Each structure stands twice: as structure tokens, then as C-alpha cells.
Amino acid sequence: MKQSATFTLLITLAFGAGTAFAADKMGDMRSMDMGDQKAMAGATHKAVGVVKEIDAKAGMATFAHEPVKSLNWPAMTMGFAVKDKALLDKLAVGKKVEFEFVKEGKGYAVTGVK
């Protein structure tokens, strides 16, 4: 009888410790996820770039942009979604602009052009 009580106590302790450990892990993961989501969804990034190509129909523009520190990006040429016609009108191939963009789905969307 005594032995079995000790065994039960050991199991309880082991299980309790395991649960606490799992909870800690979950807490870590949750705070990490929140950070990622913030970086991905919330932030507006700024870049300076030269317009290389405009596809008004698709609502896309290709920029040869300078490094973007907030994303740790080197200079590169890439496409951005530009859905707002007023923004597209501010772009012209060969023009150097300062623009703002956010992450959207798998790509990036321009939200402002200076």
C-alpha cells in the first residue's frame, strides 16, 4: 500500500513537471509568433528605388530598390503589388521614388509613393 502511494506521487510529480515544461514551451512559442506576426503584418517599410517596369493591368510594379534595413534586405530588383491607381500614376519607368510598403500574403504591396 505504501509503495503504491509513493509510486502515484512520483507519477504526479513527473506529470506535473512535464506539464509545466510544456506550458513554458507554449509561452515561448506564443511570444515568438506574436513577434513574427508583428514584423510580417504590422510594419510599414520604406525604400528608395528606381521603377523598372509597370504592369498597370496586373497592379504590379518592379523596382530596383536600395537596401531596406527594416527587413535586412540588400539592394535588389523585385516586383511589388500596386493596387491603388493613384499610386500607379505616380510611377514611371526610370523614375526614382521613395515608397512605403507592407507585407501582404506572400508578397509586398506598395502603400505610399513620394
Residues within the interface to Cu ion (CB under 5 A)? 73, 76, 78
Distance between CA 8 and CA 26 in Å, rounded?
A: 27
Q: 90 or 103, CB closer to Cu ion?
A: 103
Residue closest to Cu ion (Cβ) = 78
Q: 11 or 93, CB closer to Cu ion?
A: 93
Strand 96-104 and strand 60-65: pairing?
unpaired
36 to 21, 24, 69, 107: CA distances (angstroms): 23, 19, 17, 16
Shortest distance in whole angstroms from residue 84 CB to Cu ion: 20
Shortest distance in whole angstroms from residue 78 CB to Cu ion: 4
Shortest distance in whole angstroms from residue 97 CB to Cu ion: 15
Q: 69 or 85, CB closer to Cu ion?
A: 69
At 82, give phi and psi (nearest 5°): -130, 90
DSSP 43: -
